[in-house]
Structure 1
Amino acid sequence: MNIPLRVLLVEDVSEDAELIVRELKRGGFAPDWLRVDNAKAMQSALEESKWDIVISDYSMPSFSGLNALEVLKRQKVQIPFIITSGTIGEQTAVEAMRAGADDFFLKQNIARLPLAIERELRDTVLRRKKLASETSLRETQARFHAFMNNAPMPAWIKDRDLHYVYVNAAQASFFGMSPAEMIGRDDFDLMSIGAAQNSRHHDEQVLASKESLSTQETIADEGLTARILNITRFPLKVDEGMPMVAGLAIDVTTQVHGEKNLKAANQRLQILSSSVIEVQERERQHLARGLHDDVGQSLTALKIMLQAAQKNDAENRHAKLQEGIELVSSILSQVRTLSLELRPPQLDNLGLVSALRWYVESKTSDDGLHGWFEHEGEISKLHPDIENTCFRIVQEAITNILRHARAGNIWVRLDKNESNLILRIRDDGKGFDVDKAREHAVRGNSFGLLNMEERALLVGGTMDIKSSPGSGVSIDVVLPFTPGIRELT
């Protein structure tokens, strides 16, 4: 069976062209051929058709084999090029091969041409496959680098000795370097000793187990800010080379902190709910005891006194009634005291400033404790929730100072700006560790500090407390004029 072969013959003598075609047929080919003898005709033939091989005479009156070779090169196609000549010297043949010719023959040895063509066709197929493979590899590498360098998460590859052999732009940027600067380094060049040891341990686990590993690690970035990273490492082996370890990281710092803050906020709310119930029960118990022990007993005594007065004569009745009037006055005083403790009427009738002044003065008039209340500018009637929150925070703060601070002086100041009410509470007592107090509050051991903070948060305000052992306490509260909702953090 003859092998189809498309041949472009660059030859000025038609008889020589036919001789070549005859030899190809003898060699088992079925040639489909075209003869050209100048550059323009050859270029047109290359542009209009596909050819398996080009066979060119070395020397022609107006053209040459080397000129034909240049025309073929300009087309940038992979086609074998063979030169034939009636008289060609060895030096000339060498120059032709250096110029890019695949083979050359003297016309008197043309019988060897079919074998040479078979060889060149096989070599051309191999060259085309190699070129296609190299092109595909370059395209794959280009896509890989484009993907990795535009990926927002850090990625890297380390060799068996755990030195970086590849990093993407995000990984290099994390450490404030370029990818080229990181190649050849290890984690001890980039991280703290503890973080580097931890990373190396995980890398070695992956290499030993040949399995992927997911961890969460804290690593400082270029600005020495601790970042929390979810890292996935996996073994990597290229061809028959030594095993390597690759990794991908996702920065979850914000999410982790958010989860911790949410958990803490939920815990505070649970504790606050419990404390609210406890405070309600305590207040109810106090109110019930006051009504029973003081008001109830006084009313019972009044009843007995009035019953006795009914039985007495007019002269003794008058004395009993006078005692009854005095007892009623005592009962009214007891009821007023209970009412003031529940909610001072000044807060409703005269406003926040008068209520705070009365409370500070009434609570600091005994036991050598001095209290001062100040306010700046006119503070008109505010939203009831804001006034109540402000009063309760002062009430809670002074109660805590009286119980624990051993202070000699308390200062309460109320100011305002364009949109906020500003409350400042100070004492010169023994102070305390704020962080420890918060821990006690979270564990449910103490509710005072937590109650004040939550009261401010629930109307959209903030509270900042500063203290340390031996330095007194400073509380700054900022409340809006109108209650708002502020996210717990």
Structure 2
Amino acid sequence: MSPGQLSATPLHVLLVEDNPEDAFLIERHLRRNGFQPSINRVETAAEMRVQLASDALPDVILADYNLPNFSGPAALALLKSTRLDIPFIMLSGAVSEETAVSSMRAGAADYISKQNLVRLVPAIERELSEVSSRRREMAAQQALLASESRFDRLVAAMPLGLLISDADQRIVYANSAIEAMLQYASGSLRNRESSLSALFPDSSRIVSALQAQPSDRHDSLFESTCSLADGKPLDVLVALTVLNPEKPLEDRRLAVFIADITMRKKSEEMLRRTEKLAVAGRLAAVIAHEVNNPLEAITNCLYLLEHCELSDDARKFLVTAQSELSRISQITVQTLRFHRSSTHARSTDLHELIDTVLAVLSSRFGKHEVEVEKHFGDIPRLIIHDGEVRHLITNLLANSLDAMPRGGRIVIRTRRAIDPVSKLEGARLTIADTGTGMSGETQSRLFEPFYSTKGITGTGLGLWICRGIVEKHGGTIRFNSREASPHRSAGTVCTVFLPTETPADAPTSSSFDLSMARLG
């Protein structure tokens, strides 16, 4: 083998030819011009199909125009049917202009005369270069399509809303998350008829971001208000980025990332309100403590006055004053106990807790003309966090009071019970009222955070907290309610089961207790 052959270019040729001598001449010509050909010669369509179906596809197909049982045009048609991108060069003993033109129109890369093979090698080199270029371009397109597909899947699965607009703020892309967030039908934001200015009442920052120079610094993360499909406002966090800041303004694209912060806003507002309630509670406890000292002095004075000579009318006034003073003293003591909760579960009399709450709420019962009935059964002492359970009872009784603006009756019952699921022994507390009752929808959302039927006066956290307290103690809580109808009265019954002992894995540190106190 000569040194020139060592550097020859390998070339796999599929030759559609019935004449072995012509095949030999073509192979010799290719070898003399820098190729190292490997030629598979076929004479029929069946043989050609086998070659095109093999793993080792040819680099080029050379086909004689006329064969006894096959032809160059038929071979070209067969290649086209496979959709393979392989250069096809037609060969013939006699080339007419009409035959050459028809072959080229059918898809042949070139038409070469067997009597003049000078153009064969340049034609092969040209076609190999072009097919290599096409394959690189196709590979790049496939890689781009795969990248775009991954991007589309990523954006579609992203929980953040994404909008892409042009320089005129027309929306050219919207992912499914933003359509769901803003309550639009699928695809309705992508029709180029929607605009950012229609979604954002204040779009000044969006305009500033579009017009900013690449070197400019601007606040691209801010809170704003976005309009839902029905026109209602939605609190959102917005992040902006220009996708092609180097382009002229009219060609720029702006990506707008949007997150719903409604729940965060509600949480912040509820935290502010509950912090105020917690401060008021602590202040009440301090005042109650300070009032105790002068109360004791007044009590002593009345006791001394009782042993003095008094008229009958004066003695009646003295008895009345002692009675009211005793009542004030009881309220201050109960207030102190109400705002003093233990950090560890301890043995507690549930009836005593209920009486504590009733003493604090007694003035509200009288003001609303609500009658309270107690039916206490023989129940065991409970190992519980007394401050939290007191908070639980207060919330439940306060809800019953709010449901009876024109007066009514509350019945409190306790009895020994066994939970049917956990089989734990404990006490069952039932609070029934003759209030307005609740609809089915309200009952289905009772324990949902921030859901309230009390307007601006309600936090929507009361029953959510109550459920947390009960579950912390290993108990259960359920409601049964109905609204008034022509054939039955309205009312609500709340049933709470608390086991004799709090589960060992219940939180005992003050973090949970403090959060309950604040949210109360």
Of residues 432, 436, 441, the one that matches 1:420 is 432
- Superposition pairs of residues 100-111 of structure 1, within 5 angstroms: 100-111=107-118
Distance in 2, matches of 1:479 and 1:262, equals 29
Of residues 265, 274, 279, the one that matches 2:288 is 279
Structure 1 residue 11: deviation in Å? 0.3
Structure 1 residue 483: deviation in Å? 10
Distance in 2, matches of 1:39 and 1:201, equals 67
Cα deviation code 1:328-371 (max 9, x no counterpart) = 99876654442244349xx99xx99xx99x989xx9xxxxxxx9
Cα deviation code 1:278-301 (max 9, x no counterpart) = 13323543x1342244334555xx
Of residues 44, 51, 57, the one that matches 2:58 is 51
Cα deviation code 1:232-283 (max 9, x no counterpart) = 1112129967432212112121122123212321231122111221133235
Distance in 2, matches of 1:327 and 1:55, equals 133
Structure 1 residue 146: deviation in Å? 2.9
| Contact 1:175–1:190 (Cα < 8 Å) also in 2 | no
* Higher mean C-alpha deviation, range 22-31 or range 220-229: 220-229
- Superposition pairs of residues 284-299 of structure 1, within 5 angstroms: 284-285=293-294, 287-296=295-304
Distance in 2, matches of 1:238 and 1:68, equals 53
- Is there any run of 5+ residues in structure 1 with no aligned partner, and where? 303-321, 364-370, 398-410, 425-448, 462-476
Go from structure 1 to structure 2 and tell me whether the alpha carbon gap of 1:211 and 1:75 turns closer, same or farther (over 3 Å shift).
farther
Counterpart secondary structure, 2:116: helix
Distance in 1, matches of 2:132 and 2:226, equals 53
Higher helix share: 1
Matched pairs, number: 388
Of residues 27, 30, 36, the one that matches 2:42 is 36
Distance in 1, matches of 2:217 and 2:58, equals 51
- Is there any run of 5+ residues in structure 2 with no aligned partner, and where? 1-6, 332-350, 378-388, 412-429, 437-456, 471-476, 478-490, 499-515
Go from structure 1 to structure 2 and tell me whether the alpha carbon gap of 1:106 and 1:380 turns closer, same or farther (over 3 Å shift).
same
Equivalent residue, structure 2, for 1:233: 240
Structure 1 residue 83: deviation in Å? 0.4
| Contact 1:153–1:171 (Cα < 8 Å) also in 2 | yes
TM-score (norm 2): 0.62
1:258 aligned partner, one-letter code: S
Cα deviation code 1:158-208 (max 9, x no counterpart) = 2233322222233344262525654254223344xx333454345545877
1:221 aligned partner, one-letter code: L
Structure 1 residue 29: deviation in Å? 0.8
Go from structure 1 to structure 2 and tell me whether the alpha carbon gap of 1:341 and 1:141 turns closer, same or farther (over 3 Å shift).
closer
| Contact 1:157–1:246 (Cα < 8 Å) also in 2 | yes
1:77 aligned partner, one-letter code: L
* Higher mean C-alpha deviation, range 2-11 or range 132-141: 132-141
Counterpart secondary structure, 1:381: strand
Equivalent residue, structure 1, for 2:196: 187
Matched, 1:342 2:342: no
Distance in 2, matches of 1:116 and 1:282, equals 110
TM-score (norm 1): 0.65
Go from structure 1 to structure 2 and tell me whether the alpha carbon gap of 1:205 and 1:385 turns closer, same or farther (over 3 Å shift).
same
Distance in 2, matches of 1:3 and 1:74, equals 29
| Contact 1:160–1:244 (Cα < 8 Å) also in 2 | yes
C-alpha RMSD of matched pairs (Å): 4.7
Distance in 2, matches of 1:66 and 1:238, equals 54
Structure 1 residue 152: deviation in Å? 3.2
Which is higher, the Rg of structure 1 or of structure 2? 1
Matched, 1:23 2:29: yes
Distance in 1, matches of 2:298 and 2:60, equals 116
Matched, 1:119 2:126: yes
Matched, 1:379 2:379: no
Go from structure 1 to structure 2 and tell me whether the alpha carbon gap of 1:8 and 1:246 turns closer, same or farther (over 3 Å shift).
same
Distance in 2, matches of 1:82 and 1:148, equals 47
Counterpart secondary structure, 2:169: coil
Counterpart secondary structure, 2:303: helix
Distance in 2, matches of 1:373 and 1:24, equals 112
Counterpart secondary structure, 1:209: coil
Of residues 144, 168, 177, the one that matches 2:175 is 168
Counterpart secondary structure, 1:156: strand
Counterpart secondary structure, 1:108: coil
| Contact 1:5–1:30 (Cα < 8 Å) also in 2 | yes
2:89 aligned partner, one-letter code: I
1:421 aligned partner, one-letter code: D
Distance in 1, matches of 2:245 and 2:73, equals 44
Distance in 2, matches of 1:106 and 1:61, equals 19
Counterpart secondary structure, 2:221: strand
* Higher mean C-alpha deviation, range 45-54 or range 230-239: 230-239
Cα deviation code 1:292-325 (max 9, x no counterpart) = 44334555xx5xxxxxxxxxxxxxxxxxxx8799
Equivalent residue, structure 2, for 1:69: 76
- Superposition pairs of residues 57-456 of structure 1, within 5 angstroms: 57-173=64-180, 174=182, 176-177=184-185, 178-179=187-188, 181-183=190-192, 185-191=194-200, 194-204=201-211, 209=216, 213-237=220-244, 242-285=251-294, 287-296=295-304, 302=308, 334-343=321-330, 375=371, 379-381=373-375, 413-416=407-410, 419-421=431-433
Counterpart secondary structure, 2:38: strand
| Contact 2:171–2:194 (Cα < 8 Å) also in 1 | yes
| Contact 2:199–2:226 (Cα < 8 Å) also in 1 | no
| Contact 1:218–1:227 (Cα < 8 Å) also in 2 | yes
| Contact 1:27–1:115 (Cα < 8 Å) also in 2 | no
| Contact 2:61–2:88 (Cα < 8 Å) also in 1 | yes
Cα deviation code 1:195-222 (max 9, x no counterpart) = 3345434554587737771112121211
2:433 aligned partner, one-letter code: L
Structure 1 residue 381: deviation in Å? 3.5
Structure 1 residue 94: deviation in Å? 1.6
Structure 1 residue 33: deviation in Å? 1.0
Distance in 1, matches of 2:263 and 2:95, equals 79
Equivalent residue, structure 2, for 1:312: none
Cα deviation code 1:429-459 (max 9, x no counterpart) = xxxxxxxxxxxxxxxxxxxx99xx99xx999
| Contact 2:167–2:210 (Cα < 8 Å) also in 1 | no
Distance in 2, matches of 1:412 and 1:30, equals 105
Cα deviation code 1:39-90 (max 9, x no counterpart) = 1111112222221111000111110111111222233322111001112322
| Contact 1:415–1:422 (Cα < 8 Å) also in 2 | yes
